[in-house]
Amino acid sequence: MSDLLRSTMSARLAKLPMDLPPLSAEEEAELEESESGDALGSLPGYRGLGPPAIPRQAGGSKTRTAKKPPNPDFAPISGADYFSEALQVAVPGRQLDCRVYYTPPKDANGTVLVCHHGAGYAGLSFASLAQELVGMSRGEVGVMSIDARRHGKTKSTQDKEDENLEIGVLVEDFLHILCAVWAQAATAPTLLLVGHSMGGSVVTRAVPRIQEAGYRVSGIAVLDVVEGTAIDALPHMHSLLNARPDGFDSVEEAVEWHFKTKTIRNSHSARVSVPGIFVPAPSSASTAAPHAYLWRTPLRSTAPYWQGWFSGLSAAFLQARTARLLVLAGTDRLDKELMIGQMQGKFQLAVVSGVGHVLHEDDPMQVAEILLEFWRRNDRLRMPVKVKTVGEA
C-alpha cells in the first residue's frame, strides 16, 4: 500500500468510534483496489444507535465459508446472578409480553433505577451495572431493566409482530410497563430513569407522562447520546451497516466479535449481554442459512425511526422537571443547546474515560459510582409529600 493511501486510510479510520485492529495484507489490497470508490471518507463520530458496524475485518466477511469452532473464552454467561428475578410481564394495552429483569431495593420505599437499552441491545446490557449498583449501595437501590419491543425476550401477543419503533410507541410501551409492574403509583418506589443511546430518548420523553400518572421520579440519567451528533451521523449509517456481519456461526463468535472490535470492551459483560441480541437462524429443508445466528433486531430495519428518536432530544432533556444527568464517553459530543445548558448549570455532566459507546458495560463500576452519587445527592433533596407551615403543630 502506498504511503499516501495508508495515511489517508488512517485519517479516515480515526473518525470512527473505536480503535480498530490492523488490516491484513489481503484487506490492504482490497482497499487499494477500491480507493476511488471508498465510502468511509468523512464519517462523523458514531453515537446514538445500536451495536455499530465495523469496516471489513477477518472473520466478518460475508463471503467467508470456513467455520471455526466456538471459543470457550467467550461462552455465554447466564444473567441469573445479576438480577433477583426475570419475569414476563403481560402488557395487554400494548399487546406485549415483556421481559423484565428486576432486583428490588431492601426498603419497599426505596429507589429503583429503571433502565432502557439502546437500539439493537437488550435488558441484560445493564446486568453488570445492576450488580455493581446493588452491591455498592448495599441494597438501598433496586434495578429494573426491560427488553423493549422487537428486542430481547419481549414478544408481541399479536399474530404478527408490530414492527413500529417510533419514539411515541416506545414511550407508551415504557409507561405501560411501569404501570403493569407497579399498578398503584402511590405505593410504587421512587424511580430514577436510566437510558442508553435510543433508550435515553425514551426515558427523557417519558418523564412528564410518568409524573402525570402520579409516580415519583427523582431524576433521569442519559448515557452517551447527544441529539446533534446522533443526527449528524444518520446519513452515513447505511454505509456502516453495509460492512457489518449479517450473522455468526455461534454465539461465542458473536461475543468474540463484539469484544475484539471493541464494540463492548468488557468481555465478561459481553458474555452476559450479547447472547440475548441474537436468535437462531430459521431452519428450512430447502435452503441452508449462511449463519447459524442472526441479529434479533437488524438495525437497517429501524432506519425509518432514527430521525424521530433524536430530533428534539436536547430540548426535552433540558425541560424535564426532575434532576438531570448526562454521562458521556467524551466531551466532544455536546451540541450547542447542551453546551449552553451545561454552562447554565441545568444538568450534571459526567465523562467516563477509557470506554466506548456502551460505557455502562465497558466500565460498570465507574458508571455505578456516578449514578449512585447522583442518586444520593437528589435523594437528600427529595421533599416529603406534605410540609407543615411555620407554627403548625
pLDDT tens digits for range 194-234: 999 999 999 999 999 999 999 999 999 999 999 999 999 89
pLDDT bin (cut points 50, 70, 90) of residue 243 is confident
pLDDT tens digit sequence for 5-24: 344 344 333 333 333 344 44
Mean pLDDT of the chain: 84
299: pLDDT strictly greater than 70: yes
pLDDT at residue number 132:
98
User: What's 39-381's CATH class?
Assistant: alpha beta
Q: Exposed, middle or buried: residue 274 (CB in 10 Å: 0-12, 13-18, 19+)? A: buried
pLDDT band at 285 (very low <50, low <70, confident <90, very high): low
* Per-residue pLDDT band at 45 (split at 50, 70, 90): very low
Q: What is the mean pLDDT of residues 261-270?
A: 95
Q: What is the pTM of this model?
A: 0.83
- pLDDT at 67 (0 to 100): 79
Check if the beta carbon of residue 359 is closer than 8 Å to that of residue 327: yes
Catalytically active residues, by annotation? 197, 224, 357
| Helical pair 364-380 and 127-136, crossing angle rounded to 10 deg | 50
CB contact set of 272 (below 8 Å; sequence gap of 6+): 76, 77, 78, 79, 82, 124, 127, 128
Task: Report whether pLDDT(57) > 70.
Answer: no
For residues 331 and 26, the model is more confident at 331
Residues sharing a CB contact under 8 Å with residue 265, sequence separation 6 or more, in sequence order = 259, 355, 356, 358, 361, 362
The ranges assigned to domains in the chain are 39-381
Poorest-pLDDT segment among 68-77, 249-258, 286-295: 286-295
Overall average pLDDT of the 151-170 stretch:
93
pLDDT in tens, 95-128: 999 999 999 999 988 999 999 999 999 999 999 9
